[in-house]
């Protein structure tokens, strides 16, 4: 496609219920089929949302407007077929027509339109020139064209028109049919339609012929001006990665990603003008993400864990290097992946050498540069830094903007500035603070940070994935860095090798396997075990960490059974049964599956929030029974 038609069609985000598979820009072209049956015109439906919950979070809408756009319509799911600028004709199925044209749906669309007009106005847009309220008006217009009826018989007009005798020219249509209410009204609705280009010169000529033949007075035969004041493709003013690309006919997110050596997930995430990954508008200007030396095409049975193992990287790498993936990888595989299926499995921009990637504006140096005078450095940021970014409100930057503008990979940016969390990076940014965007070689071993701590910091809860079998009563975690060994870690935290291996049983006894960069490892546990105790010094900042140089009594323990997958902190030592969460699971599903209460589930899995919004990850093991 290369027209406004493609853009309008691709704008549909219809989602039926919670189990409906959402695709960015996907339209339900197939009208759902059903055996003919009686349908109550006043029936109610489970509800269908025009936009799936969360899909508009990056559009900069007010919360009031965004919430309004997620409202469900009291309509059958077949309404999704009406987000189109193509000809609206008979559905050829009386049951489907009755479901689509239920009275409850008409009133629901009307109320939805009022709500969007009030809460969003006409300035909230999907793309420039295409307000959300106009998309709702298009839906309403197409519903009217689908559901208008003969006032005498009550029959659907499109069905009546479809029953006319087949003829080779309009002149052969009987006068009765030609001048019927339905045929004349059909032409009138098409001429008034401002949301498609179906009404062309041929239809205008047909309308003029009908008016003359049937002696009907028509004020205007000309096509109504389009309500969409947009032209796509849009050329971005600047491509911060320096890797611009103009799409060709037949391009998809995957074909571009494979040819250019980039992540399809990140490309989709950073280019809002991609409305349909499987059918990108020809001539669209894209800003490609940083290239990676190795890419991987996701298979239908893949999980993020299998992708990581297959490519000898960590689970954190998979998520960090591919921006569109959710924090728990729930959108890795679906029947129609809306972002594509090609992932980076090597660092975007190349392997880290201790310096930010060179750009025309780079001032990279081998010596630390002092933070800007009078500016607060973000808590915990390394001072072994060659360049700084001050988060000024006037810039309006998010983490992706900062990384692209300074040619630094997001995972390195977060590591060098630990006040930022990968999954909440944008909201963690503090206006006015300075962040390191050029950590120098060996920065992770440098003993100076913005909080002036002088020893390695151990967090009380894991910030990154952990491996199978970590002690359930662990409350001190350390993220392994490049160059770490088991010996260096136990020396840093004053624990024995026996304790370290007992608390981290996935690590081999000779430390040749199981110790991965960017994975969290247990370096201390709380008192409560009957095994030996040890004292370790844990230095932390105000971010869920103990005070500087505070000694804590730690003890080693292993669980009664070995979890079948990575676990989170706080699971009881007497857990007797684990369940590995799958993509699509919810806390309620797990509770029902194992016949336990929500109170029990959250008590046994305290890392999971009470609303199940955080701490519940696919491919992690959760306790579902205790001995």
**pLDDT tens per residue, range 408-462:** 777 778 888 888 887 788 888 999 899 998 888 767 666 566 643 333 445 556 6
If you ran DSSP here, which 8-state letter would residue 210 be given? H
List, as one string, the DSSP characters of 90-155. --S-HHHHHHHT-HHHHHHHHHHHHHHHHHTTTT-EEETTEEHHHHHHHHHHHHHHHH-B-TTT--
Higher pLDDT, 553 or 341: 341
| Mean pLDDT of the region 589-610 | 84
Q: Which of 113-122, 261-270, 382-391, 550-559 has the lowest mean pLDDT?
A: 550-559
pLDDT digits (tens, 9 = 90+) for 57-103: 877 888 889 888 888 888 888 887 787 778 888 888 888 888 889 88
Q: Which of 21-30, 60-69, 161-170, 175-184 has the highest mean pLDDT?
A: 175-184
- The predicted pLDDT at position 34 comes to 27
Task: Give the pair of three-digit tokens for residue 404.
Answer: 């692209």
Q: Mean pLDDT, the chain, as a whole number?
A: 75
Cα-Cα-Cα-Cα torsion 57, 58, 59, 60, nearest 10 degrees, comes to: 90
Percentage above 70 pLDDT, the chain: 78
User: Which tokens sit at 108?
Assistant: 């629901």
CA 93 to CA 89: how far, in whole Å? Answer: 12
Cα–Cα distance, 519 to 170 (Å, whole number): 72
pLDDT in tens, 258-297: 999 999 988 887 887 787 788 888 888 898 988 898 999 9
Tens of pLDDT, residues 225-258: 887 765 444 444 457 677 889 999 999 999 999 9
For residues 112-140, give the mean pLDDT: 84
Residue 542, pLDDT above cutoff 50: no
pLDDT at 587: 87
Q: Helix, strand, coil: what percent of the chain each, to 5?
A: 30, 10, 60
If you average pLDDT over residues 30-50, what whole number do you get? 50
- Dihedral (Cα; 428, 430, 434, 439), 10-degree rounding: 0
Q: How far apart are CA 434 and CA 625, in angstroms?
A: 47
Instruction: Name the phi and psi angles at 58, rounded to 5.
Output: -100, 10
Q: Give the pLDDT score at 153.
A: 92
8 Å CB contact between 523 and 531: no
Contacts of residue 393, defined as CB under 8 A and 6 or more positions apart, other chains included, come to: 431, 432
CA 64/CA 69 separation, integer angstroms: 9
Alpha carbon 555 to its chain centroid, in Å, reads: 41
Long-range contacts, 334-337 (Cβ 8 Å, 24+): 334/21, 334/23, 335/21, 336/21, 336/23, 336/26, 336/278, 337/23, 337/277, 337/298
- Which domains does the chain possess? 4-213 (no CATH), 244-344 (3.10.350.10), 453-558 (no CATH), 571-627 (3.10.350.10)
* C-beta of residue 625 within 8 angstroms of C-beta of residue 575: yes
| For range 34-42, the mean pLDDT | 39
Q: Cβ(104)–Cβ(43) under 8 Å?
A: yes
């Amino acid at each position: 496609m290369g027209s406004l038609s493609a853009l309008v069609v691709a704008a549909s985000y219809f989602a039926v219920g919670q189990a409906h598979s959402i695709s960015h820009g996907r339209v339900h072209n197939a009208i759902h089929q059903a055996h003919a049956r009686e349908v109550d015109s006043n029936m109610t439906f489970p509800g269908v949302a025009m936009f799936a919950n969360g899909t508009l979070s990056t559009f900069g809408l007010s919360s009031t407007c965004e919430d309004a756009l997620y409202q469900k319509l009291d309509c059958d799911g077949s309404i999704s077929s009406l987000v189109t600028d193509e000809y609206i004709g008979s559905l050829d199925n009386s049951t489907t027509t009755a479901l689509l044209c239920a009275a409850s749906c008409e009133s629901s669309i009307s109320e939805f339109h009022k709500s969007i007009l009030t809460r969003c106005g006409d300035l909230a847009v999907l793309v420039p020139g295409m307000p959300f309220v106009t998309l709702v008006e298009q839906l309403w217009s197409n519903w009217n064209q689908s559901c208008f009826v003969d006032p005498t018989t009550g029959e659907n007009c499109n069905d009546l028109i479809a029953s006319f005798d087949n003829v080779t020219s309009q002149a052969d249509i009987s006068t009765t049919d030609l001048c019927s209410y339905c045929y004349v009204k059909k032409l009138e609705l098409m001429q008034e339609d401002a949301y498609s280009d179906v009404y062309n010169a041929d239809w205008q000529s047909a309308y003029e012929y009908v008016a003359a033949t049937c002696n009907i007075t028509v004020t205007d035969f000309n096509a109504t001006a389009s309500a969409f004041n947009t032209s796509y493709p849009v050329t971005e003013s600047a491509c911060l990665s320096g890797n611009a690309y103009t799409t060709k006919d037949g391009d998809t997110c995957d074909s571009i990603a494979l040819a250019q050596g980039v992540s399809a997930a990140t490309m989709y995430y950073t280019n809002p003008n991609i409305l349909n990954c499987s059918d990108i508008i020809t001539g669209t200007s894209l800003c490609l993400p940083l290239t990676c030396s190795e890419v991987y095409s996701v298979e239908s049975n893949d999980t993020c864990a299998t992708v990581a193992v297959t490519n000898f990287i960590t689970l954190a790498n998979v998520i960090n290097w591919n921006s569109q993936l959710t924090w728990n990888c729930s959108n890795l595989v679906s029947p129609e992946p809306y972002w594509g299926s090609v992932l980076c499995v090597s660092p975007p921009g190349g392997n880290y050498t201790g310096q930010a990637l060179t750009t025309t504006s780079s001032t990279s140096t081998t010596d630390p540069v002092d933070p800007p005078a009078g500016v607060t450095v973000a808590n915990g940021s390394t001072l072994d830094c060659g360049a700084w970014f001050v988060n000024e409100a006037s810039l309006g930057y998010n983490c992706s903007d900062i990384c692209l503008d300074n040619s630094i990979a997001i995972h390195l940016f977060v590591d060098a500035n630990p006040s930022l969390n990968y999954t909440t990076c944008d909201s963690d940014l503090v206006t006015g603070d300075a962040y390191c965007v050029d950590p120098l070689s060996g920065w992770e071993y440098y003993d100076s940070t913005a909080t002036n701590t002088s020893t390695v910091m151990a967090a009380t809860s894991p910030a990154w994935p952990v491996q199978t079998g970590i002690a359930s009563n662990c409350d001190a975690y350390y993220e392994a860095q490049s160059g770490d060994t088991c010996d260096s870690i136990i020396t840093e935290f004053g624990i024995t090798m026996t304790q370290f291996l007992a608390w981290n049983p996935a690590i081999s006894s000779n430390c040749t396997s199981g110790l991965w960069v960017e994975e969290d490892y247990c370096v201390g546990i709380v008192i409560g075990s009957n095994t030996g105790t040890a004292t370790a010094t844990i230095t932390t900042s105000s971010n869920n960490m103990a005070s500087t140089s505070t000694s804590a009594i730690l003890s080693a323990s292993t669980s009664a059974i070995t979890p079948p997958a990575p676990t989170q902190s706080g699971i009881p030592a007497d857990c007797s049964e684990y369940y590995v969460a799958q993509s699509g699971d919810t806390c309620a599903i797990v509770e029902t599956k194992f016949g336990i209460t929500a109170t029990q589930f959250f008590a046994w899995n305290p890392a999971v929030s009470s609303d199940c919004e955080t701490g519940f990850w696919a491919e992690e093991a959760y306790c579902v029974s205790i001995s």
